[in-house]
Amino acid sequence: MIHPLRLVTVHPALIHFTIGALPIFVIAYGVAALYRSERWTLAGDVALAIGALLTLVAAAFGLVAFLTVGWPGGLELWRWLHFGLGIAMTVGLAIFATVRLLRRRPQVATGWPTFGIAAGLSAITLLTGWVGGDVLVYHGGIGVAAAGQGALSPPTGPARTPKNLVEAMAETRAAWGSASAVTARMLVRAPTDHDFATIAADGRRLQKVASWIADHGAATLPRPTLPVLEEHMHHGDHQAEAMHGHEREAVSGAPKTRADHLAEMASDFGALAAELTEAAEKRDLRATAERVGDLSGACADCHLELRWVKLR
């Protein structure tokens, strides 16, 4: 379904007014300084005032988008960078425009300091736009329906050791998102060596983070010592293993905890990731597509059992 208007797309539409006004006031203030021209000063002031006013509206909708868009794990740095730079440029433009309007005198041209401020604010604005447009939308697919509203956004940098389970999930999601999106593109277009190499690298990242979760994930899992109830257990290989576990526990008497299940499912997940790596290294398209599906199933199992279950 195509919607004529979505709350999250008002911001990227309006922000083009800011981008349009930028070169006009920078050039106008530049020419004004060069020729001591009051008429070019007027042109700069008009473009700045209109640009700053529309930037306030665009920024307000930026805040709306920030609060309503679904943020996938793994883009925190860029999300907050865009937020911080956006506030800096909006406040900067608003103050600059207000000062210019208050200090406007007929017959007086602005000089190089005014041009310098205009150019500096433009640099911050362009950086903000690069983070928002290139990193968040074109790379990350934030707010883009075809990109699963950001769910499929690939990693933005090299793998780092997670500090907690949520960070490990951000890493997991990004590597899985990349493998899923690249597989989809291979099926629709044609597989390339580069695509398989990307997926093999994603598979290795998933193996690494899975083994981290198995070893350290329980430390930051909510309610790690609660037992997992029979009715919350989910299908797949894990259930078979868990059943065995339960039989064993029946003997030892201790029910399995959420922490145990996390470790168990994480090592199953790591084994699937290793199979994905192998399939991609062999450039086997069918096996690669199937392993991506298996991994998605494993996300579902673990989330149904440990993430979305109501804790009593």
Applying CB under 6 A, the residues found at the interface with ligand HEC are 72-73, 165-166, 169-170, 172-173, 176, 213, 221-222, 262, 265-266, 269, 295, 298-299, 302-303, 306-307
Please report how close the Cβ of residue 197 comes to ligand HEC at its closest, in angstroms.
Answer: 20
Please report how close the Cβ of residue 169 comes to ligand HEC at its closest, in angstroms.
Answer: 4
- Closer to ligand HEC by CB, 21 or 295: give it: 295
Cα–Cα distance for residue pair 294/94, rounded to 1 Å: 52
**118: which residues sit within 8 A by CB, 6+ positions away?**
25, 26, 29, 44, 48, 96
Please report how close the Cβ of residue 235 comes to ligand HEC at its closest, in angstroms.
Answer: 14
Please report how close the Cβ of residue 299 comes to ligand HEC at its closest, in angstroms.
Answer: 3
Task: Specify the residue for token string 């920024």.
Answer: 59
- Closer to ligand HEC by CB, 111 or 227: give it: 227
Burial 37-54 (b: 16+ CB within 10 A, else e): bbebbbbbbebbbbbbeb
| Helix extents (H) in the chain | 7-35, 38-68, 76-103, 112-129, 165-188, 193-216, 237-252, 258-281, 285-302
- Closer to ligand HEC by CB, 128 or 172: give it: 172
Coil, helix or strand at residue 255: coil
- Closer to ligand HEC by CB, 104 or 256: give it: 256
Task: Specify the residue for token string 């868990």.
Answer: 242
- Closer to ligand HEC by CB, 37 or 296: give it: 296
Please report how close the Cβ of residue 94 comes to ligand HEC at its closest, in angstroms.
Answer: 33
